[in-house]
Structure 1
Amino acid sequence: MRNTIIGPTLAEFQEARDRVSGVSEVTPMESSRYLAEVLGSPVFLKCENLQRTGSYKIRGAYNRISRLSDEEKSRGVVAASAGNHAQGVAFAARELGIASTIFMPLGVALPKLQATRAYGAEVVLRGHSITEPLRAAAEFARATGAVFIHPFDHPDVVAGQGTVGLEILDQRPDVDTIVVPIGGGGLISGVASAVKQRAALDGRIVRIIGVQAVNASPYPLSLRNGTPTEVPMTPTIADGIAVARPGELNFEIVQAMVDEVVTVTEDDMAQALLVLLERAKLVVEPAGAAGVAAILAGKVRASGTTVAILSGGNIDPLMMERVISHGLSTSERYLRLRIPLPDRPGQLARTAAIVAEANANVVEVLHTRHSNGMQISQVELELHIETRGPEHAEEVLARLRDEGYEPRIDF
């Protein structure tokens, strides 16, 4: 990491803060005793999931669009996004009285689509990934003269996102480490630059740790290569940070000012979302929970005060249901068992009684004679069971085995 200042100056970050203060909220900073116990030092959550439009994106979008010339504003703006950037651009454009067109993929979550339209944008659905909407938005900009609003790779966007960092320093002047989700790098480049520059005035050093989803993680390879590098992506629940290549400006700032970048798995993020729901009573999308996932997975080593940015809370309820179920399964609080049984009366009742005697709760049952690998004289029982955690789950399995059954965990 170098101490070079790249991108917006501290004065420009402060100007951006003044500019966006009329539309963005100063979001809460919540302490987390649970995460503090995990990390061994105080942990606070910067709740951008409670921001207007449900994420920090409104900051960069508004700062960028508000600085357009009158002639540029008259041409309107265009963007491509699967969700949070779309809502930020649509909201900012509406507040500034500017026409906006947003290209979104066909499979976009219905709540994000509806919210973007509700903010007044003309929404065009195109393709099945973000690649097609990005291409379509660029073509639209060339054909109509509309100004393309990049989701992360622009100095005004970086300056707007960096206002999160200035708020963190105001709310927790003692902060030693800030953990930030990374997609293309707009948020972390803004936060790192704003925080490092202002902390330096007080002679302080604040560490910045970035977190990417392992299935969409171009930054570790790019940093090793010394240049922005595109990586192949595999499906991830963290659609908000699913970017294949870092932004050019963002990479320069991250390379100079970010101390470490780590990755987290799908299971890590599912468990983090569950922890935030249960322990902090906060609804956070998987991408927004990446920083917490890194803490829970032991990827963050910090002493002193640590702040994890919850970057967004725009999660489809159907996705939330799936993620919660997966989080419960990976933490062994929700077991799916397959048990071969003799095809005779009473076996289902006996199996359920054993589970009940172990103080576990059966929530779903499937009883079938048509599973592969069974003998003609057998049936298969599929049990979905709630437990209190790994030790209790093992107790349930042990009791079933002691009674002569052969339960298999179905992941």
Structure 2
Amino acid sequence: MFQKVLIANRGEIALRVLRACKELGIQTVVVHSTADSDAMHVRLADESVCIGPPPSRESYLNIHQIVAACEITGADAVHPGYGFLSENAKFADILAAHNITFIGPSGDHIRIMGDKIEAKRTAKRLGIPVVPGSDGAISDEKEAKRVAAEIGYPVIIKASAGGGGRGMKVARSEADLEVALQTARSEAGAAFGDDAVYIEKFLEKPRHIELQVFGDGAGRGVHFGERDCSLQRRHQKVWEEANSPALNSEERARIGGICAKAIADLGYSGAGTIEFLYENGEFYFIEMNTRLQVEHPVTEAITGIDLVHEQIRVASGGGLSVRQEDIKFNGHAIECRINAEDPRTFTPSPGTITHFHTPGGLGVRVDSGVYSGYRIPPYYDSLIGKLIVHGRNRVECMMRLRRALDEFVVDGIKTTLPLFRDLVGNPDIANGDYDIHWLEKYLAEDD
């Protein structure tokens, strides 16, 4: 087991990892920008190192400074959390060159899954069902028209190096294709420095289903069930559930078995999430995230397994602590992402939290790094906390969520709490009857 882990992140995920390390008896080091000097994870860590000014590129994305912090403090491993450098293959390689363990997969696996075209090829080779589309990047408009005609309209054009909805455009006819192709390329080049794009069949009313997987790097793989992340705004997840209201146990076992086998065959090490669009009983691979997900607590709630403990165990050479037959699914869990944003316009709302009170009781968990008097800086993601509730079934979970939302108090800034109070009372949400377009339509109607 590691002696000292450096946590290369901030906010709620830094605190989440810190807690896991303390439970395992591991010394902790956190890095922080000058804007985060008074953050909760900085206060609670055994050691802290300031690595730069507020802009991420000068602090949380500054590989040189983070490696220097490891060497100064004697950290023998780094947990990257999510975002920032968590899927940066160069960072993983540099740590390895300095004999520091990256708590995550190899740089090679990060590269494969970071390239959406190569990821799709790899998924297909491993037996994972994929969306019909181009075999690689589209070279020109002529090829785009040929591929679109073969798979049928509507189609979606995606950035090869993309994510977060950038570089994605839908074409419903050949007449739309030229503009969509040019726009997607332009956005991809500006956002990722790579204008390569590919084409896939556009599904009209799919759900977003993702499988939590783990590999030990030595040919063993398991899955921890699925999460339904269909409630999204601008391709950003807002509400996540485990298990999905749309799947039955047979479908869960089938797609879970496919994913666990793929991870084993790939020789993958650590946590990963294989994401799908799901429509009419069929799964279609869209990407794999080679890190811990924001929504991992709902999986922990229904399995009783600490996924960060598992990450650390695997990275330290201890292997997986469970076999597939040991993983049981108990009840239902929902996570709401609480952002410092206007609940109608979603404009960021940084500022000082004058009062902060979290709900409690059976089956209620809040992951947050903020507190009364804390000033939210304007430089980073607006996520300030996650409310996770668990119940014996979905009905109980929804009732518990309603109660917990009523107890949650954040004063001094605007948050998305009012949105969730609306959603929990909506009949479609209560019935689990929604797809990836539902929330944006709901918000548009509300306007």
Name the TM-score, length of structure 1 as normaliser: 0.26
The structure carrying a bigger helix percent of its residues is 1
Name the TM-score, length of structure 2 as normaliser: 0.25
The structure carrying a bigger strand percent of its residues is 2
Please identify the structure whose Cα radius of gyration is greater.
1
